[in-house]
Structure 1
Amino acid sequence: MIEAKGLTKRYGKKLAVDDLTFSVAPGRVTGFLGPNGAGKSTTMRMILGLDNPTAGDVRIGGKRYTELHHPLRTVGALLDAKWVHPNRSARSHLTWMAKSNKISPRRVDEVLDIVGLSAVADKRAGGFSLGMSQRLGIAGALLGDPEVLLFDEPVNGLDPEGILWIRKFMHRLADEGRTVFVSSHLLSEMALTASELVVIGKGRLIAQSSTDEFVTRATESSVKVRSPQLDRLRAALDRLGATVTAEDDALLVSGVSSEKIGQLAMENQVTLHELSPQRGSLEQAFMQITGDSVEYHADLESEAQRALATTN
């Protein structure tokens, strides 16, 4: 369990985290989302005692990180995959970490095997690709067999097979009853990985809820309808006051349930080939809810104009 209460961090005049309160429960994967500059990395650093809060408190299993006697046995973290000394091998790096927390040397080979690095265990970490470095960082996080795990952008540099592996792996860790807290900008991946969300913007809490609740609250639901008599059905829907949008050979209908559309089709002798509720995406919900919290907005039209002028 991770519990943050009134967590605040200032860097001079810059307020990076502003009175942030949230909790991360065991037994599920909790996604940590927010625009660039929202304060996610600063928050994770405060959880791990790397930055001291200006105000507030954050605890892991009821204790501050600095109060943990052998911290790697309680919490494992991957914040920066490239922090390893480049001249150390993967095995020597993990061995050094194990000795610092009185962890059995046998565990080093176990985690190397878990993340698929056994074959390159004695290679210099400086020669690793970003994906291999990510796997080494995950091995370090697992070294103490901790109950709490924090990952910052863990799929960076991984190929599709690696992304699928880390997704399934996080689910397995949560199923074992561990607390898994993961930050990522890949919202499509977060939609498949995280069952709970903590969403922040400009250092403040925007939402904490299940992923399904977050998407449902932020996006408008609709129903996709396909039929050989779409014109007849659309006229009936218009009379009902539904919002109807044509999409290729189908209609997207909002403001009316799929049950009501089916009833309407039957009453008007309309054959249905498809009647499927459409759920908004996590990306749509995120953009809708965090739009006012984005610190740096891109002027896409100006960028396109500049690019066109450069090519002419």
Structure 2
Amino acid sequence: MIEVTGLTKTFGSTTAVDNVTFTVPPGIVTGFLGPNGAGKSTTMRMILGLDRPTSGTALIEGKQYRELTRPLQTVGALLDAKWVHPNRSARAHLRWLAASNGLPGSRVDEVLRQVGLSEVAGKRAGGFSLGMSQRLGLAGALLGDPKVLLFDEPVNGLDPEGIVWIRRFMQALAAEGRTVLVSSHLLSEMAQTADHLVVIGRGKLIADTSVEDFVDRASESLVVVRSPQLDDLRTALTERGHTAVDVDGALHVSGAGAAEIGELAAARSIVLHELASRQASLEDAFMKLTGGDVEFHGTGFDDVMKGSL
């Protein structure tokens, strides 16, 4: 288990992490989300003892990282897939990690098999693709068979096959009863991977909840309706106090459920060609709840085009 309590980190006059408190329980994958500059990496570095908190505590299995005698046997982490001497082979890299924590050499070949790198174990890590480097990083994290695992952007730059493999790998680790905390910018992937979410913005905690509750909290009910009598249907919905907006030949209705809309259409003898509730995505919810916490905003395409005229 990971327990973060009142964690704060300042760099001069800048507060990177501001009084953040959350718990990462075992047995599930916890997604760690936030816009760029939100403080995710700084928080993970403080959990792992790489940055010293200005105030607050971060405990791994009830201890601070510096109190762990053989840390790799308690916590494994992948923060930077390319953090490896380029001239060392994959096996040599893992052997020195094992030696530093009193782990048997046989464990090296076990984790290489586990991540699918046995055939390239003798090759220089500097020549690895990003996907192979991610797998080597995972092997290092698993070397001590730890109960707690932290992954920072583990699917960055991977092809679809690699992304699916890592997703299933992390879920399998959690299913074994391990604590798994993973940050990612790929929201569609996180929606399929995580069971629980911790979301921060500008260093502050925004949400600590299940994926389902996070989406429900941020999303309004929306129903898509298509009909050859859209004007009549819009009038009927407006009279009921609902909002109906034309989008690509359909009405997007908020404030009313599909059943109510269907009954209203039937009462007015309005023909419907489509009546579907739209399921909000994790991306929709994330953008709504963190939009004000983005450090740098890009200019929209329409604004760019207007400025060029």
CA distance in 2, matches of 1:157, 1:136: 15
The residue number in structure 2 matching 1:250 is 250
Higher alpha-carbon deviation: 275-284 or 57-66: 275-284
CA distance in 2, matches of 1:288, 1:277: 19
The residue number in structure 2 matching 1:234 is 234
Please tell me the residue identity of whatever aligns with 2:6.
G
CA distance in 2, matches of 1:249, 1:203: 42
Matching of residue 182 in structure 1 with residue 175 in structure 2: no
CA distance in 1, matches of 2:273, 2:93: 59
Please tell me the residue identity of whatever aligns with 2:102.
K
Higher alpha-carbon deviation: 209-218 or 258-267: 258-267
User: What is the CA deviation profile of residues 7-56 of structure 1, one whole-angstrom value per residue up to 9, with x for unaligned ones?
Assistant: 11122222211111111111111111111111111110110011111111
The residue number in structure 1 matching 2:34 is 34
Q: Is the CA contact 2:221–2:257 (under 8 Å) kept in the aligned structure 1?
A: no
CA distance in 2, matches of 1:246, 1:130: 45
User: What is the CA deviation profile of residues 179-210 of structure 1, one whole-angstrom value per residue up to 9, with x for unaligned ones?
Assistant: 11011111121111112111111211111111
Please tell me the residue identity of whatever aligns with 1:148.
V
Please tell me the residue identity of whatever aligns with 1:94.
L
Please tell me the residue identity of whatever aligns with 1:70.
R
Sort the Cα spacing of 1:63 and 1:186 in 2 relative to 1 into closer, same or farther, 3 A: same
Residue segments in structure 2 that go unaligned for 5+ positions in a row: none
Q: CA RMSD in A?
A: 2.2
Q: TM-score, normalised by structure 2?
A: 0.93
CA distance in 2, matches of 1:267, 1:107: 70
Matching of residue 22 in structure 1 with residue 10 in structure 2: no
Q: TM-score, normalised by structure 1?
A: 0.92
The residue number in structure 1 matching 2:216 is 216
User: What is the CA deviation profile of residues 129-165 of structure 1, one whole-angstrom value per residue up to 9, with x for unaligned ones?
Assistant: 1121111111111111211110000001210000011
Mapping 1:144-223, distance limit 5 Å = 144-223=144-223
User: What is the CA deviation profile of residues 79-136 of structure 1, one whole-angstrom value per residue up to 9, with x for unaligned ones?
Assistant: 0111100010111111111122222322222221222211211110011111211111
The alignment partner of 1:185 has SS state of: coil
The alignment partner of 2:251 has SS state of: strand
Sort the Cα spacing of 1:85 and 1:306 in 2 relative to 1 into closer, same or farther, 3 A: farther
The residue number in structure 1 matching 2:277 is 277
Count of residues in Structure 1 that have an aligned counterpart in Structure 2: 309
Residue segments in structure 1 that go unaligned for 5+ positions in a row: none
The residue number in structure 2 matching 1:112 is 112
